[in-house]
Amino acid sequence: MSQPAQLPRQARTLQRRNDIAASAAAIFARDGYPNVGMRDIADAVGIKGASLYHHFPSKEDILFAICLTVTREPADETLPLLDAPGTPTERLSSLVRAHLVHLNRRRVEYVVGLHELASLTAEHRDVIEDYRRQYQRRVRDVINAGIRSGEFTVPDARIASFAITDMLNGIASWFHDGGELTIDDVADHYVELAINRLLGGNT
């Protein structure tokens, strides 16, 4: 029987970094970023301190990687949905669903990034804020497109874009898998709320 192909070294390194960041996020969420040291992270991952420093020069670099998973990943994975064929209503509905699914998958990282953003260096904070502004701007643009097409009746696309993203991100504080509602159930409700109630659309 043939053995599964081994991942290339670069892919293995990237996977290892992702695993470290995910483990660190869980520890930061439980104990608080200031209370966690590099040794704590290395022990949790099951590697030596020297190996951890090989992947991340500092604890702040790990926090930065965590924050990127909830800012750069959505920009890379969900924003392209706004460029897909379809009406502004269809494209924004797809974004709402994808955003919720991603946030649910990265809930711990999101909570850590939200609470510990001030612990990043100014340079790293600027990178995170740039991704957030990009995301906000793209949502605002598609809302404006819907206003022009007559699909949305909301008077201010900028305020509406903030309201929608805040509403979506808010599920991190209350939704957990395994309850009565699935993330798909929540997405159905949120699409209706975002498009029909908040934007004045009609799906």
Query: Is residue 83 included in any domain, yes or no?
Result: yes
Name the one residue in this structure whose structure tokens are 């097409």: 149
Query: Is residue 14 included in any domain, yes or no?
Result: yes
| Residue 52: CATH number of its domain | 1.10.10.60
Q: Which of 57, 76, 97 corresponds to the end of one domain? A: 57
Give residue 3's pLDDT.
47
Query: Is residue 62 included in any domain, yes or no?
Result: no
Q: Averaged over 117-146, what is the pLDDT? A: 97
144 and 177 both lie in a single domain:
yes
97 and 121 both lie in a single domain:
yes
Burial track 45-73 (b if 16+ CB lie within 10 A, e otherwise) = bebeeeebeebbeebebbbbbbbbbbbbe
Query: Is residue 161 included in any domain, yes or no?
Result: yes
32 and 87 both lie in a single domain:
no
Give residue 178's pLDDT.
87
83 and 42 both lie in a single domain:
no
Give residue 7's pLDDT.
59
Check: CB of residue 56 under 8 Å from CB of residue 62.
yes
132 and 159 both lie in a single domain:
yes
Give residue 15's pLDDT.
86
50 and 73 both lie in a single domain:
no
pLDDT tens by residue, 44-90: 888 888 889 999 999 999 999 999 999 999 999 999 999 999 999 99
Helices 59-69, 9-31: inter-axial angle, 10-degree rounding: 100
Q: Write out the residue range of the structural domain in which residue 94 sits.
A: 67-198
50 and 72 both lie in a single domain:
no
84 and 174 both lie in a single domain:
yes
47 and 71 both lie in a single domain:
no
Query: Is residue 4 included in any domain, yes or no?
Result: no
50 and 80 both lie in a single domain:
no
95 and 163 both lie in a single domain:
yes
Q: How many residues does the chain have?
A: 203
Taking the C-alpha atoms of residue 191 and residue 89, their distance in angstroms, rounded to an integer, is 10
Q: Which pTM value belongs to this model?
A: 0.87
What domain count does the chain have? 2
Q: Averaged over 155-176, what is the pLDDT? A: 95
- pLDDT of residue 4 exceeding 60, the answer is no
52 and 71 both lie in a single domain:
no
- Percentage, residues of the chain above pLDDT 70: 96
Taking the C-alpha atoms of residue 168 and residue 131, their distance in angstroms, rounded to an integer, is 16
Query: Is residue 203 included in any domain, yes or no?
Result: no
Q: Give 141 or 177, the one with higher predicted confidence.
A: 141
Query: Is residue 1 included in any domain, yes or no?
Result: no
Largest CA distance in the chain: 64
Give residue 201's pLDDT.
86
| Residue 179: CATH number of its domain | 1.10.357.10
Three-state SS string over the chain comes to CCCCCCCCHHHHHHHHHHHHHHHHHHHHHHHCHHHCCHHHHHHHHCCCHHHHHHHCCCHHHHHHHHHHHCCHHHHHHCHHHHHCCCCHHHHHHHHHHHHHHHHHHCHHHHHHHHHHHHHCCHHHHHHHHHHHHHHHHHHHHHHHHHHHHCCCCCCCHHHHHHHHHHHHHHHHHCCCCCCCCCHHHHHHHHHHHHHHHHCCCCC
- pLDDT of residue 41 exceeding 70, the answer is yes
